[in-house]
Each structure stands twice: as C-alpha cells, then as structure tokens.
Amino acid sequence: MPTDKSEFDLQAALSSKAWFGFDLDDTLHEFRFASGQASLSVFEVISAKYGKDVDDTKAKYQEILRQSTAHAFTDGRTSSEYRRERFSRLLQAHGIEKYEDIDHILKIYQSSLRSNLTLKAGALQLLQALQRLNKKVMVITEGPADAQEWTIRELGLGPYVDILVTTNEVGRSKVDGLFAAVLERYSIHPEEIVYFGDNEVRDVHTAQKEGILAILYDQKQENHLRSPDALRINSWDKLQNMLLGVKYIRY
C-alpha cells in the first residue's frame, strides 16, 4: 500500500487481494427489515391471543434484544435456543406465566423471516463476479452458526461463499479478536484480504487493527475511495464495476 495516501489506488489494491471478506447481516442482505417483520408477526400473535398492545410488546422486546445480544452470540447456542429464551422472557414481561405456544411462536418467526429475506442490490452479482475472477469469498459475521448457514442457503449465496465464520463458532466477537482468529485459522496474511461491513466500529475498525484493508458499506452516504484509512462504498454495483475495470466510477 502506498505511503502517500493521495496516490492510493483502490482498484489496484482490490485486484491484488486473494480473499474478499463480508459481513452478512445488513451488508449482503436486509437483516433489520426481515427480522423486524418477523418480530412484528410474533407481536401480532401475542396481541391477538393475550390482548397485549403491539407497540408496548415491541418496546419490551427491544430491551430484551439489547440485553441478550450484548455478547454477540459467542456462547455456542443455536438460533432456536436464543429465540426461545427471548420470546419466553417477552411473555414473562407481560405477566404471562403459563404459555404452551412458544413452539408456534418460533415457527411464526422463522416463516416470516424466510418470506422477508432480501438481498442487497447487486450483492449476488458481485459474488458471482468475484467467483469468475477466481477470488475467494469469506463471510465473517456475528450470530448463531446455524442461523447464518440457513440465511446464506435461503438467499442462494451458498455456491459463492467459500468459508463462513461466525462468532458463535469461534467463541469471539468482532471486538474481542475474531479477525485475528480467522487469519490464524486459515493461514491468511492481512495483506491478502479486504473486508466489507456496515458497522464502522465492529467491522471496519476491528479489521483495520489486524492490518486488514477494511471498507464501510453504507448506502446512505457518498463513496469515499481515496484514503485507505477511511474507505466507504454505497453500492455493490459500483464495486463490481471497479473490479471489472469500468472507468466511470465517481469518487
């Protein structure tokens, strides 16, 4: 990488990388939307059966979710176990001590999640282009391993992802050494990989600490592609064009 940041050429830097790493949720697909719709389906079931206000249920669930995801799913449990715990706590927060339909609630959530899964625009085409360019793709993400495997399969990304690594599998969150563990496990040198994620702290800064070229994915901001320490891209189509040598990318 050039020492003079004004000379930094992202297109050349990307072409030199053997590995392309991606976060999954809200980077390759619309996780917040899908999970939000799935949760709403559950809230409506609780409202219909127990007469609880949907907005109140949502507020209670947000607090439970905030507490239960604080450790970024590093304790090895399955997605069903996490969800069962969260929804059981939600019912208890409403004072509902006797409930026999938790399995039904879990099925409602899963079914709604599946029907609302949506890829980010250009994500599939980008991964297909990377495969044609003989690049290796690794998804490094926080979450239960079974849920992330299921998501990749449901989205049709399986044929284009060489390796999936989750915090649940490794036992470390992104801020607690996940990237270092990945590099060691797969014998990858930092200069061989570029990583993309939607969270500046958990994705970009933590990867940069390990010497990885890291790029923030943010659809709401302009591209920033000239400084290696503060790279940002807002479209997977634009990244694909860059990889394929298209010259009209606007910086």
CATH number at residue 109: 1.10.150
CA 91, distance to chain mean position in Å, is 28
Question: Is residue 248 a part of any domain in this protein?
Answer: no
Token pair, residue 146, equals 């079974």
| C-alpha torsion 231→149→142→194, nearest 10 | -20
What distance in Å separates the CA atoms of residue 182 and residue 91, rounded to the nearest whole number?
Answer: 38
Using CA atoms, how far residue 129 sits from 12, 20, 88, 133, 207, in Å, is 16, 12, 44, 6, 24
Q: Look up the domain containing 83 and give its range.
A: 32-116
What distance in Å separates the CA atoms of residue 192 and residue 223, rounded to the nearest whole number?
Answer: 23
Specify whether 140 is located in the same domain as 40.
no
Among the candidates 116, 144, 170, a domain finishes at 116
DSSP string for the chain:
--SSGGG--HHHHHHT-SEEEE--BTTTB-HHHHHHHHHHHHHHHHHHHH---HHHHHHHHHHHHHHHTTT-S-S---HHHHHHHHHHHHHHHTT----S-HHHHHHHHHHHHHHH--BPTTHHHHHHHHHHTT-EEEEEE-S-HHHHHHHHHHTT-GGG-SEEEEHHHHT--GGGTHHHHHHHHTT--GGGEEEEES-IIIIIIHHHHTT-EEEEE-TTS--B-S-TTSEEE--HHHHHHHHTT-S----
Among the candidates 116, 148, 171, a domain finishes at 116
Please write the tens of the pLDDT for every residue from 149-160: 999 999 999 999
Specify whether 223 is located in the same domain as 192.
yes
Specify whether 103 is located in the same domain as 159.
no
Please write the tens of the pLDDT for every residue from 235-246: 999 999 999 986
- Contact (CB, 8 A) for 178 and 167: yes
pLDDT over 90 (residue 73) = no
How much of the chain, in percent, has pLDDT values that exceed 70? 94
| pLDDT at position 201 | 96
Handedness of CA 104, 105, 108, 111 (dihedral sign): negative
- C-alpha distance across the termini of the chain, in Å: 19
pLDDT over 80 (residue 5) = no
Token pair, residue 124, equals 């599939």
Lowest-pLDDT choice from 73-77, 140-144, 193-197: 73-77
Question: Is residue 26 a part of any domain in this protein?
Answer: yes
Please write the tens of the pLDDT for every residue from 188-231: 999 999 999 999 999 999 999 999 999 999 999 999 998 999 99
